[in-house]
């Protein structure tokens, strides 16, 4: 079927929606604990209601935690929780799951996920967003990004109004407490990038009104440009232009919603002497600001993981193959705009997060609605474990996948060259 053999097409289905026509699977997250236990999280979405900013009567079973003690051969459901867009991560001797239900929410386990605290709010009266992107450790702290909706005066999908907020917490602290987190300053896409002034780069691909949307073809809508689903990376190579010898600079690598493919949006956060964190755009040696960098699959949610052993950044992302088809000529089973293909996950590696080498096709569906998307990954010895939001014959659209699937790329470092 494929001239390039997928690395991990075989998979285990951890969870399948009992009502795929109405309830879909979202937010696959994964981490490996020091004990060897693998922890996977996900949530449920409903195509008839916007669960992001409204509260149905019962959210108690929206999120789910599964664990495996046999390297992913079997999984056991351990916990359900009332928030979404979450990810699991370890800090000190504790395991956390952090996401949001409008406000940021977090819960903690002190026994590798067997028992859990209640879910605690970290904010009040705010609206947040994210996907299970990566988690970074440095200087005795854990760093991750959530995105706050900084404006509400938009129509359609307001990704231009999202502000990626780098959060820092001590690994030794109780991270269910708001006062143990430091939040970076907020910069929304629309604060620093005027899409109307961009030229020569083809961004944005379609013309849209500011903070609004345009109908490109029947039932195919283009929203104003923005960034979202943020990863955090740090450059440890002293030869890198953006290396900070004090290790107080963190770069934000984000999905670029522009209608195009092949690049990500970026910004940076610099820790100040007083401990505060300032978000700003990066610059290149010419003095020009830079907000976009090459990134295969940067048009959809991607996951970046730095591996200390290979000293490489590994990128899991969606593969685009037909983004230049005219929107009005797209087959009915294609979802959204031409750049929104969701049926293949690909793996790349890089020494610098700008120049990416193709490592392989991870997994692929055989038709558009058999999606493999929104992957997250974790290293387990020589192997790379991946969880995917996956669709099939019962999917309403390629977006509304109804399965959580688990894939393993064996001896993944051997793919580097």
Q: How far apart are CA 367 and CA 389, in angstroms?
A: 15
Q: With 0.85 as the threshold, say if the pTM is over it.
A: yes
Q: Count how many residues are written for the chain.
A: 417
pLDDT tens profile 244-291: 999 999 999 999 999 999 999 999 999 999 999 999 999 999 999 999
Q: How far apart are CA 143 and CA 162, in angstroms?
A: 19
- Mean residue pLDDT of the chain comes to 96
337-364 mean pLDDT: 98
Q: Is the pLDDT of residue 359 over 50?
A: yes
- In a 13 Å sphere around the CA of 126, the CA atoms on its Cβ side amount to 17
Q: Is the pLDDT of residue 46 over 90?
A: no
Q: Is the pLDDT of residue 374 over 60?
A: yes
Q: Is the pLDDT of residue 55 over 80?
A: no
pLDDT tens profile 149-191: 999 999 999 999 999 999 999 999 999 999 999 999 999 999 9
Q: In this structure, which topology does domain 12-415 adopt according to CATH?
A: Neuraminidase (2.120.10)
Q: How far apart are CA 166 and CA 356, in angstroms?
A: 25
> According to the model, what pLDDT value does residue 49 have?
54
Task: Tell me if 313 sits within 8 A of 306, measured CB to CB.
Answer: yes
pLDDT tens profile 196-239: 999 999 999 999 999 999 999 999 999 999 999 999 999 999 99
> According to the model, what pLDDT value does residue 151 have?
97
Confidence of residue 53 (pLDDT cuts 50, 70, 90): very low
Would you say the C-alpha torsion 30, 33, 35, 41 has a positive or negative sign? Answer: negative
> According to the model, what pLDDT value does residue 3 have?
83
Q: Which residues pair with 17 in a beta bridge?
A: none
CA angle 53, 59, 63 (to 5 degrees): 95
Going by the DSSP 8-state scheme, the letter that residue 175 receives in this structure is T
Confidence of residue 329 (pLDDT cuts 50, 70, 90): very high
- Radius of gyration of the chain measured on its C-alpha atoms: 20
Q: Percent of the chain beyond pLDDT 70?
A: 97
Would you say the C-alpha torsion 86, 405, 8, 381 has a positive or negative sign? Answer: positive
Confidence of residue 390 (pLDDT cuts 50, 70, 90): very high
pLDDT tens profile 286-323: 999 999 999 999 999 999 999 999 999 999 999 999 99
Q: Is the pLDDT of residue 50 over 90?
A: no
Task: Tell me if 233 sits within 8 A of 306, measured CB to CB.
Answer: yes
Task: Tell me if 339 sits within 8 A of 323, measured CB to CB.
Answer: yes
| E strand intervals along 187-225 | 213-217, 220-223
CA-nearest of 292, 236, 283 to 264 is: 292
- Residue 111: partners with Cβ closer than 8 Å, 6 or more residues away: none
Domain ranges in the chain are: 12-415
Going by the DSSP 8-state scheme, the letter that residue 93 receives in this structure is T
Q: Is 331 exposed, middle or buried (0-12, 13-18, 19+ CB in 10 A)?
A: exposed
Report DSSP letters for 50-70, one per residue.
-TTTS--S--TTSEEEEEESS
Strands 344-350 and 312-318: antiparallel
Cα torsion at 121, 126, 132, 137 (round to 10°)? -70
Task: Tell me if 377 sits within 8 A of 21, measured CB to CB.
Answer: no
């Amino acid at each position: 079927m494929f001239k390039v053999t997928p690395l991990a097409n075989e998979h285990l289905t951890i969870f399948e929606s009992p009502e795929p026509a109405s309830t879909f699977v979202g937010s696959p997250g994964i981490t490996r604990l020091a004990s060897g236990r693998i922890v996977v999280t996900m949530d449920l979405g409903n195509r008839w209601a916007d669960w992001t900013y409204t509260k149905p009567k019962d959210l108690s079973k929206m999120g789910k935690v599964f664990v495996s003690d046999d390297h992913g051969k079997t999984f056991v459901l351990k916990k359900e929780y009332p928030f979404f867009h979450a990810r699991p991560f370890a800090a000190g001797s504790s395991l956390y799951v952090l996401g949001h239900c409008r406000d940021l929410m977090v819960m903690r386990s002190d026994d590798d996920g067997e028992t859990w605290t209640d879910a605690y709010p970290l904010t009040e009266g705010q609206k947040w967003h994210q996907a299970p992107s990566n988690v970074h450790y440095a200087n005795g702290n854990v760093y991750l990004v959530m995105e706050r909706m900084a404006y509400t005066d938009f129509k359609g999908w307001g990704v231009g109004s999202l502000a990626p907020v780098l959060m820092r917490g001590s690994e030794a602290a109780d991270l269910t407490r708001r006062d143990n987190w430091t939040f970076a300053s907020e910069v929304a896409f629309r604060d620093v990038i005027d899409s109307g002034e961009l030229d020569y780069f083809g961004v944005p691909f379609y013309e849209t009104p500011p903070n609004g949307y345009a109908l490109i073809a029947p039932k195919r809508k283009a929203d104003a440009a923005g960034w979202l689903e943020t990863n955090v990376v740090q450059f440890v190579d002293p030869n890198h232009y953006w290396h900070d010898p004090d290790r107080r600079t963190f770069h934000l690598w984000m999905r670029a919603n522009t209608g195009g493919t092949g690049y990500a949006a970026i910004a940076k956060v610099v820790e100040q002497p007083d401990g505060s964190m300032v978000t700003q755009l990066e610059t290149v040696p010419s003095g020009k600001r830079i907000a976009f960098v090459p990134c295969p699959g940067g048009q959809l949610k991607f996951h970046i993981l730095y591996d200390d052993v290979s000293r490489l950044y590994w990128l899991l992302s969606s593969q685009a193959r037909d983004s230049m088809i005219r929107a009005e000529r797209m087959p009915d089973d294609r979802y959204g705009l031409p750049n929104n293909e969701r049926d293949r996950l690909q793996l790349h590696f890089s020494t610098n997060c700008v120049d990416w080498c193709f490592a392989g096709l991870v997994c692929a569906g055989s038709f558009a609605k058999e999606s493999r998307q929104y992957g997250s990954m974790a290293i387990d010895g020589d192997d790379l474990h991946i969880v995917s939001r996956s669709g099939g014959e019962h999917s309403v659209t390629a977006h509304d996948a109804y399965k959580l699937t688990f894939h393993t790329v064996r001896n993944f470092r051997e793919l580097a060259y």
